[in-house]
Structure 1
Amino acid sequence: MANATQTHLVTMVRELNRVLTASHIEFFLIGGSAIGAVRDHGLIPWDDDIDIGIKRENIPAFVAAVQQSDLMDHYRLIIPGETPDYYFPTYKLLLDLSGTDAPVDVGTGFQGVFIDIFALDKTYANKYLRRTHQLQIRLDQIRLDLAKGVTNAADNLGAFKNVVQNQAKQKSKQQLFAKYLRDIQKLKRLKKGFIYYNFGSPYAWDRERYEAPEVAKAVLIDFEGEPFPVAVGYDAIMTRTYGDYMTPPKQADQKPKHLE
């Protein structure tokens, strides 16, 4: 039986689907939500958020469609680089329940229920070139973490530790975050030799990558009683990310990960 958070999530994702479909904006259920669609035909029973992926080239249209819709009567759109004191690359559609007894997101401190919208960015298909891009983003993250007060963020950098620490001291959090976002998007004009990548992923390098043919189009799969788009290459994507995604984790691991 769905809990209050999941009841809100189902309502939210149906409303978002309505707006994006009407505006002809391509999106996919990804991550645990894609697993839920394929394996459970709905939310994973213990899940506490919904994950959506949108190619970077469609993000401006997504933002405009949401901001011009009736969704803004009920929800907040959290936008990286625009929402104050928010330093993550992930967009969020938030049902703000501040001041209530609703759970709080561990990562951001937002109180309420949210859909995560991940921009899928272009990076190099060539592994060695891709590593240079990934390393640049990782160093951006470390500088930002240092500026946010995570004092041990650079501890694994060896001889580069002092250099990165000094770089972090020379810029504000806002400046460091702006550079982080620019570097994530730096390859958006690539016309060939690219894959899509979720730089907001919690997983190790390359686990959540998307080969271009895998996200060339969507297939519709039943999710909470309605058809929702999942990337055509979902099996390859989720096998790469999760391994045997059709087998649920052991009971001890069947618990929410974001809200407390």
Structure 2
Amino acid sequence: MKKEEKEYYEISQDTFKKMQNKMLEMLLYFDDFCKKHELMYYIQGGAAIGAIREHGFVPWDDDIDVLMPRPDYERFIKLWKQYGDEKRYVFCKTDRKVNYHHSCASLRDPNTTFICSYNQNLDICHGLAFEIGPIDGCPNSKIARAIQLFHAFNYALFNTQRLPNNKGKFFRALTKVILTVISSEKLRYVFWKHAEREMSKYSWNDCEYATELIGSIKGMLNVYPKKWFDSQVYVDFEGHKVPVMAGYDHYLRMVFGDYMKRPPESEQHAKHKLEFVDMDHPYTYYKNKKYFPGRKGKTGGAI
């Protein structure tokens, strides 16, 4: 992999291939779980682009993200606690006791090591992550939509509790000030739980539009016809069939532009800022060596 001046951890081609193979295993397990329990999901982002353009992984992609309609997302969390194979994959989501500094839920492979810079100082599962996010109903009213976005911003701020790297200096500085003033973990939890309830209260079945409230600010501002997400289309991905949303072409063009054209070589790099990766050993082997205690992440540090 090409290394961007001290910004990206350099992963060998062999390790990167192992990493993508592990991610594919996780996707297929998740797909089987969702089929058994009649849950709807769609691969998104780089994985969706890879499926349509490459019929598999984008060569430099280092993760798989999926979207689920909010009702399926909430059902998945409950069903996983009952039927998920926790020895194989650990379910991770920020709660009152632990903060992963990431607003999505995830399944993580505890037999691997994938340490992100912003989590290096935490004693959490640092296995390879398969990220799962909800897509929510969006109200028609402009006032209600503005209030929904207000709660979404509060959720992002008090749930992730880390300084953003790609939102500009002003937003990074503002985030630091707010999190410094409101330093109580208990109070932050109260704020983001309230924000989560309020932003997701619009019925998926009754809404005409949908929106992504977890992720980038640009993504939060997007509004999509819900009919794009009412059904799935199965596409080829590394020799398997996996689902994208029925309106995938409209969605991907709205979010990424001309996604069928590869970006310039200078932009062909993995998105995560990493400290260490090992697909052959469990993350626990590296405790007090590569992560925890008190190790400060180099970018996007928690506060």
Instruction: Give the TM-score range, shorter chain.
Output: 0.7 to 0.9
- Cα 1:133–1:235 change in 2 (3 A) is same
Equivalence for 1:197: 211
- Partners of 2:214 and 2:155 lie apart in 1 by 13
- Which range is displaced more, 83-92 or 231-240? 83-92
Within-5 A mapping of 1:39-188: 39-69=53-83, 71-81=85-95, 84-97=98-111, 102-109=113-120, 111-127=126-142, 129-142=144-157, 168=182, 172-188=187-203
Amino acid at match of 2:110: D
Identity, % of aligned pairs?
Answer: 21
Alpha-carbon offset, residue 61 of structure 1: 2.2
Distance (Å, rounded) in 2 between the aligned partners of 1:66 and 1:219: 24
What amino acid does structure 2 have at the position aligned with 1:105? C
**Over residues 38-90 of structure 1, what are the superposed CA-to-partner deviations in whole Å (9 max), with x where a residue is unaligned?**
11111111111101001111123212333333532211111343661235431
Match of 1:31 in 2: 45
TM-aligned CA deviation for residue 225 of structure 1 = 0.9
- Which is further off, 164-173 or 237-246? 164-173
Matches of 2:84 and 2:206 in 1, distance apart? 35
1:178 Cα deviation after fit: 1.5
Specify whether residues 82 and 210 from structure 1 end up closer, same or farther in structure 2 by C-alpha distance, changes over 3 A only: farther
- 5+ residue gaps in structure 2? 1-12, 165-169, 275-303
Q: Sort the Cα spacing of 1:48 and 1:166 in 2 relative to 1 into closer, same or farther, 3 A.
A: closer
Superposed CA offset, 1:203-241 (max 9, x none): 515565432110010010011111101000000001000
Corresponding residue for residue 9 of structure 1: 23
**SS of 1:228 mapped into structure 2:** strand
CA contact (8 A) 1:28 1:218 kept: yes
Name which structure has the greater RCO, CA cutoff 8 Å, separation 6+: 2
Compared CA separation, residues 58 and 42, structure 1 to 2 (3 A): same
**Counterpart residue type for residue 150 of structure 2:** L
**Inter-CA distance 92–254: structure 2 relative to 1 (3 Å threshold):** same
**For 1:186, what is the secondary structure of its paired residue?**
coil
- TM-score w.r.t. length of structure 1: 0.82
| 1:209–1:107 CA distance, 2 compared to 1 (3 A) | farther
Match of 1:22 in 2: 36
Match of 2:247 among 226, 230, 233: 233
The number of residues matched between the two structures is 250
Q: TM-score, normalised by structure 2?
A: 0.71
User: What is the root-mean-square deviation of aligned Cα atoms in Å?
Assistant: 3.1
Give, in whole Å, the separation in 2 of the partners of 1:106 and 1:148. Answer: 11
Instruction: Give the whole-Å Cα distance in 2 for the aligned partners of 1:191 and 1:70.
Output: 30
Q: Distance in 1 between matches of 2:138 and 2:150?
A: 12
Cα 1:254/1:50, change in 2 over 3 Å:
same
Q: 1:128: how far off?
A: 5.5
Task: Show structure 1 runs of 5+ residues with no match.
Answer: none
Distance in 1 between residues matched to 2:48 and 2:250, nearest whole Å: 12
Could you tell me how far apart the structure 2 residues matched to 1:36 and 1:149 are? 29
